[in-house]
Structure 1
Amino acid sequence: MAASPHLFNETQRKRIKRRYAYEVITENGTVSAAVMVIAAIAAVICANTDAYEPIHQFLSEPIGIGIGHFSASMSVELFVNDFLMAIFFLLVGIELKYEMTVGELKKPRQALLPMLAAVGGVVVPACIYSFLNKGGMTQGWAIPMATDIAFALGVLSLLGNRVPAGVRVFFTTLAIADDLISILAIAIFYGHTPDLFWLAMAVLVTVLLVLLNIRQYFRLAPYMVLGLVLWFCLFKSGIHATLAGVIVAFAVPARSGVQLSNLSNWLQESLPDLADKYDDDAHVLGQHDFTRAAVGVERIMHRVSPPLVRLERAISTPVNFLILPIFAFVNAQVRLVGVDLVALATDPVALGTYFGMLLGKPIGIVGVTFILVKSGIAELPRRVTWGHIAGVGVLGGIGFTMSILISGLAFPSEPFELLAAKAAILCGSVTAAVLGMLVMSRVTRPKLRAPQPTSKDAPKPQQVHVEAAE
């Protein structure tokens, strides 16, 4: 926090430093990815010990939500997957809106290559899965197509500044486009037959959210209240309720609540008046004119940040360090005790998921990128090589969060197939992370420069002339 040391006493300065250190840690993608991995590992360990039964029983306990006749009952596991993950989807929606407003998705030509590469990275894994499961559990075709943006970017960040900025932008845009496709797949293919009444109510709430945006209402509270109502309506309608998060994110204003071009002049007029009203000799509680003026300045400055930015700041840390680890722990309960491991490893669902992630992703991403570049439709970003694209393709096979979510939707009443899918997702994500790191480490390895001759070793001008003549 850049502020004059004269504004705070020593205790407050120490507190601000601690807060800054906390923000540095919580904004680090590698740390958040590590926390999620630790939660998944803990889940696998617990699932194969005596702790499994009490944990499974707790996750099956019912939770009631609602008022009067408008109520819904769900298990703890469903609460995590439907309600808490709606908050995760809210964060994903914020990232999508940011990219479409000021990021890479704002420039269609620049975003064309990674977005179409993402399509290839979705279609090929789905085809591999469908081929290996033809005539069987084909409903899981979408499981290997999702890339876990938080986990994958966390792995990529381990290489630090060795990764060119163009690679990060390409991979981020690809992962965001991948998330968007996964969201559409969940909405279209993995919902139940909708209840028309509740679907109509959801549409009505969405219209109210849009009207709030059009009327330029910049307080977050109404959006959050309507977001909860929208979630409830979608849950009752049979459409996957996590989509409420994306809808709310696109409804929250991305503009500032003040005219920023006039802010500087207003501050220049207001601050001298604030200084005049302050009395050094009086306690601040008794300086009513000063505190009223200060509150007025606080209210204006609070509206400078767009609501979308304020919302992202409020939920990013809870999502990355609480919601995603809880989701990982709840859904990575892969119990292998008493299971025929050979049958599990050779199950078509496991094979389709694993090879779809490990082969389908790089083939689809690299293949589409190669076709677009060689045909002249697009070109590689600056300082990005084909080795980088290959590394991105392999890292795209990390499909933890979305893939597990889709597997639960695809096999709600097929426990063995669900176990096979989850085991393959965990194995595929770990394999893709390790192989992706190896590929990226090699292609980003600093090149050794040939040693320059010293003045003692340098040939004399006469010698150079003779050698050249020879």
Structure 2
Amino acid sequence: MPGTTDHRAPRLLARGTWPEVRRITGILRKETIGGALLLASAIVALVWANSPWSQAYADLRTFRLGPAALHLNLDLATWAADGLLAIFFFVAGLELKREFVAGDLREARRAVVPVAAAFGGVIVPALLYLAVAGVDAPRGWAIPTATDIAFALAVLAVVGRHLPAALRTFLLTLAVVDDLIAIVIIATFYTTHLSVLPLLGSLVPLAAFAVLVQRRVRSWWLLLPFAFTCWALVHASGMHATVAGVLLALTVPVLRSRQAGGPEAGPGLAEHLEHRLRPISAGIAVPVFAFFSTGVSFGGFSGLARSLSDPIAVGVVIGLLAGKPIGIMAATWSVARFSRATLDEGLAWIDMAGLSILAGVGFTVSLLIGELAFGASSDADARVRVAVLTGSVVAAAVAAVILRLRAEVYRRIHQAETTDRDDIPDLYQDT
């Protein structure tokens, strides 16, 4: 009625705009391939490390190359963890910045849910780990706090084809925020020896890179030398070099300049770089890291049982399988409770439960934190790798069953969404 106020409760995970849905769908296609390559790399490493030729795998991991004068004479496993993962975090930084500057999450009401869920999914797993293994190995508290973007999105893309796009956006944003929280944790809690001069020196190439990207320079041969120099100096400072990837990403503009026609003229530099680098990140960087990080010798079923009975392993598995879903669900419910919001029409809390369990796929960043916490190739690190693999696989399997059943429910709804000649589903025509 005229003059009345709309007192309807706000909606959680409301349907996004069609351009955002289309963009998220494109990302899922790339991450499906990346997730398959990641899984294949992990399987190859596990088989090789438990074969009669396991010494050859160990020798490959420890093979060193690079200039010693620049503190870059590193083994291949370190090059993968410090170098290739910087690309992964650069893409994650671009994605997060774009979401909050030009995506649907620039609206606070849309952003608050995945951001709160990400923090809940970090705090609760850490507390559960400390409760189980904190006395024996407190440095591992951050291992079960991360969500693997490539692996989780690959599972979602395979089993959740008909799930609402808002759920996919939620998982993508949660995973990106989650990983950036992990970078802050790495920089804050896992930097033991910090050299100030190289760290300050890294600001010079970072500033030069920022000037170039602010001028919308796209030439890789101009950007790459400054990016590599920044990365090398951060590495020399003692801080984990992947931090450089995030810092570089945050300098990249999302919107097009006014001279280029403004934001309506097409994608900005952040989206351009993301499109160029995401295949490298998902198809090369993460699978290669997985190959060098997951090859752990089980010692048969008895050795596997001993590894999983260790307090460190138990804490990691509980953190991933119980801490992640409890933290994410509790944070999401709290937002709904205190804002008096309800889930968007058609969604159910079982959908959130499935995504929360899927977020327990730690893998890439969890393996990285495990190496930083206990030292690569240490006995504790081997137990961490077994636990991360076990927890991630179980979380993926349980979530896949739930989300597959829910996707079947939504299939009938999708059949009703006809597409006109403009290729935009009728559901989004009024968005």
Decide: shared fold, TM above 0.5.
yes
Residue 417 (structure 1) shift: 1.1
Q: After the TM superposition, which of the residue ranges 178-187 and 303-312 deviates more from structure 2? A: 303-312
Corresponding residue number in structure 1 for 2:151: 151
**Closer/same/farther in 2, CA of residues 263 and 235 from structure 1, 3 Å limit:** closer
2:372 corresponds to 1:370 = no
Report the counterpart of residue 53 of structure 2 in structure 1: 51
**Where does residue 41 of structure 2 map in the other structure?**
39
**Is the contact between residue 354 and residue 425 of structure 1 (CA under 8 Å) also seen in structure 2?**
yes
Supply the RMSD in Å over aligned alpha carbons.
Answer: 2.6
How far apart, CA to CA, are the structure 2 residues paired with 1:188 and 1:448? 45
Give the corresponding residue for 1:297.
none
Give the superposition deviation at 1:380.
2.5
Deviates more, 1:339-348 or 1:123-132: 339-348
TM-score with structure 1 length normalisation? 0.76
**What is the aligned counterpart of 2:353 among 371, 382, 390?**
390
The AA in structure 2 aligned to 1:168 is R
Please tell me whether the aligned partners of residues 258 and 304 of structure 1 are also in contact (alpha carbons under 8 angstroms): no
* Structure 2 partner of 1:118: 118
User: Map of 1:452-463 to 2, 5 A cutoff?
Assistant: none
- Aligned partners of 2:263, 2:321: CA distance in 1, in Å? 52
CA distance in 1 between counterparts of 2:262 and 2:183 reads 40
Deviation digits for residues 159-196 of structure 1 (CA, Å, limit 9, x no counterpart): 34420122112222211221121111111111222101
The DSSP-based 3-state class of the residue aligned with 1:361 is helix
In the other structure, the counterpart of 2:127 is: 127
Gaps of 5+ in 2: 1-25, 413-431
Correspondence 1:302-313 to 2 at 5 A: 306-313=268-275
| Matching residue of 1:237 | 237
Q: Contact 1:152–1:398 at 8 Å: present in 2 too? A: yes
How far residue 408 of structure 1 moved from its aligned partner, in angstroms, is 0.8
SS at 1:433 equivalent: helix
Return the alpha-carbon distance in structure 1 between the equivalents of residues 29 and 407 of structure 2. 24
Q: For the Cα contact (< 8 Å) 1:47–1:335, is it kept in 2? A: yes
Matched to 1:361, the amino acid is: K
Cα distance in 1 for residues equivalent to 2:388 and 2:410: 35
The equivalent residue for 1:351 is 314
1:164 matched to 2:127? The reply is no
CA contact (8 A) 2:148 2:361 kept: yes
Give 1:417's match in structure 2, choosing from 380, 395, 405.
380
The number of residues matched between the two structures is: 386
Structure 2 residue matching 1:158: 3-state secondary structure: helix
Native 8 Å contact 2:29 2:157 kept in 1: no
In structure 2, relative to structure 1, the CA distance for the partners of 1:311 and 1:413 (3 Å cut) is: closer
Q: Is the 8 A contact 1:82 1:241 kept in 2?
A: yes
Alpha-carbon distance, 1:371 to partner: 2.1
Residue 360 in structure 1 maps to residue 323 in structure 2:
yes
For residues 418 and 231 of structure 1, what CA distance do their matches in structure 2 show? 25
Following superposition of structure 1 onto structure 2, how do residues 267-416 of structure 1 map, counting pairs within 5 Å?
A: 306-337=268-299, 340-376=303-339, 378-412=341-375, 415-416=378-379
Q: Pairwise mapping of residues 188-267 of structure 1 onto structure 2 (< 5 A)?
A: 188-215=188-215, 217=217, 219-256=219-256, 259-261=259-261
* Structure with the greater alpha carbon radius of gyration: 1
What is the alpha-carbon distance in structure 2 between the residues aligned to residue 321 and residue 402 of structure 1? 16
Q: Which moved more, 1:409-418 or 1:215-224?
A: 215-224
Structure 1 residues 224 and 344 mapped into 2: Cα distance closer, same or farther (>3 Å)?
same
1:222 Cα offset (Å): 3.0
Q: Which has the higher mean CA deviation after the structures are superposed, 303-312 or 190-199?
A: 303-312
The one-letter code matched in structure 2 to 1:211 is V
User: Partners in 2 of 1:38 and 1:214 — Cα distance?
Assistant: 39
1:219 & 1:106 partners in 2: Cα distance?
A: 29
Query: What do residues 29-88 of structure 1 show as CA deviations (whole Å, max 9, x unaligned)?
Result: 32321121111111111110122101211221211237xx54531111111111111111
Residue 405 of structure 1 deviates from its aligned partner by: 0.9
The one-letter amino acid paired with 2:404 is: S
**Cα deviation 1:321-376 (Å, max 9, x = unaligned):** 22211111110011012774343121111000001000001111111212221233
Deviations 1:130-186 (CA, angstroms, capped at 9, x unpaired): 111132111011110100111111111123442012211222221122112111111
One-letter amino acid of the counterpart of residue 103, structure 1: G
- Residue identity matched to 2:96: L
Paired residue secondary structure (2:343): coil
The 3 A distance-change label for structure 1 pair 49 and 448 is: closer
SS at match of 1:444: helix
In 2: Cα distance, 1:447 partner to 1:119 partner: 29
Corresponding residue for 1:16?
A: none
| Match of residue 426, structure 1, among 380, 383, 389 | 389
Q: In the alignment, what sits opposite 2:174?
A: 174
In 1: Cα distance, 2:202 partner to 2:96 partner: 22
2:18 counterpart residue number = none
Deviation at 1:307? Answer: 2.9
1:241: Cα distance to partner? 0.5
Cα shift at 1:262 = 9.7
2:96, 2:173 within 8 Å by CA — same for their partners in 1?
no
Query: How does the TM-score come out when normalised to structure 2?
Result: 0.83
Q: Does structure 1 retain, via aligned residues, the 8 Å contact 2:133–2:315?
A: yes
Question: Distance between the aligned counterparts of 2:104 and 2:258, measured in 1?
Answer: 26
Cα distance change, pair 262–325 in 1 and its aligned pair in 2 (3 A): closer
Q: Corresponding residue for 2:421? A: none
Shift of 1:305: 5.4
**CA, structure 1 residues 199+25, in 2 after alignment: closer, same or farther (shift >3 Å)?**
closer
Q: Distance in 1 between the 2:241 and 2:218 partners? A: 25
CA distance 1:79–1:263, shift in 2 (3 Å): closer
Q: 2:406 aligns with which of 431, 443, 462?
A: 443
Which amino acid counterpart does residue 99 of structure 2 have in structure 1? E
Instruction: Quote the offset at 1:258 in angstroms.
Output: 7.0
Per-residue deviation at 1:316? 1.6
Provide the C-alpha distance between the structure 1 equivalents of 2:150 and 2:96, rounded to a whole number of angstroms: 14
Return the match for 2:32 from 30, 33, 42.
30
